Amino acid sequence: MEGTGSRDGAERVRILIVEDEVELAAYVKRGLEREGFTVDVAGDGQLGLHMATTNSYEAVVLDIMLPKLNGYQVCAELRARSNWVPILMLTAKEGEYDEAEALDTGADDYLTKPFSFVVLVAHLRALIRRGVGARPAVLTVGELRLDPAKRTFEVDGELVSLTPTEMSIMELFMRRPGDVISKTEILESCWDWAYEGDVNIVEVYIRYLRKKIDIPFDRKHLETVRGAGYRLMAESD
């Protein structure tokens, strides 16, 4: 485009803010407009999802706690529809929702509230520079198939619904089939760094996973290696 005449290279980049706190949304909108962005605001998750799918944005700033649909649901739904718009998630400091989970559902980056406006702009510019990410490769181990972008998991062609934590545990195993992975490593990779609970939570999740991916299919994908951890078996016989 000619004659847009932007001074600092900030073209008319269009951003969507999905945030129900009216004052915060207005503050961020004003600030971003001063930086040369064009900004739309959606006050709930449903409207945000609608706007993100019907318009073309360079990035979406997405709050987690939202009316109608929460941020995770909006993010997961966009990815499920193969919409790869860069998403910056705003997470609450209280830790009820965590950053790992934000990234699990397909967000590209996150900021913890309260954040400074300067930091927000820096993150946004970095995201926009990176642009729409290439869709991550589908992981396949034997009859298991995990699509990190769509957040889907299949056993022998059958869709199995996993929670975000279960999904990230399976992603860890499927990136390293046959490796013994300790409970501590699973905990550190798949839980929020601030998690202070017992490492044995991992056992609980391995049990959940076996109920979903092993028992119904009469398989033993997840092997316990006594005293060492767990291993994903590529083939079960």
Residues in the site for Ca ion, rule: CB under 5 A?
Answer: 20, 63, 65
Closest distance of CB 89 from Ca ion, Å: 11
Given the complex with Ca ion, which of 63 and 108 has the nearer CB atom?
63
Shortest gap between Cβ of 92 and Ca ion (angstroms)?
Answer: 8
Minimum CB separation of residue 71 from Ca ion in Å reads: 8
Separation of alpha carbons 117 and 64, rounded Å: 18
Nearest-Å Rg of the Cα atoms of the chain is 20
Burial class (CB in 10 A: 0-12, 13-18, 19+), 64: buried
Please report which residue ranges of 1-144 form alpha helices under DSSP H: 22-34, 45-54, 71-80, 99-104, 117-130
- Nearest distance, CB of residue 61 and Ca ion, angstroms: 12
Amino acid code (one letter) for 16: L
**Phi, psi angles (nearest 5°) of residue 63:** -75, 155
What's the closest the beta carbon of residue 21 comes to Ca ion, in angstroms? 5
Q: Report the distance separating Cα 22 and Cα 47, nearest Å.
A: 14
CA–CA dist 142, 52 (Å, integer):
36
For Ca ion, give the closer residue by CB, 89 or 209.
Answer: 89
Beta carbon of residue 20, minimum distance to Ca ion (angstroms, whole number): 5
Q: Which is nearer to Ca ion, 66 or 144 (CB)?
A: 66
Closest CA to 90 of 185, 21, 192: 21
Which residue, 117 or 217, has its beta carbon nearer to Ca ion? 117
Supply angle C-alpha 116, 122, 127, rounded to 5: 125
Q: Which of 92/199 has CB closer to Ca ion?
A: 92
Distance CA 51, CA 45 (A): 10
Q: In terms of CB distance, is 110 or 230 closer to Ca ion? A: 110
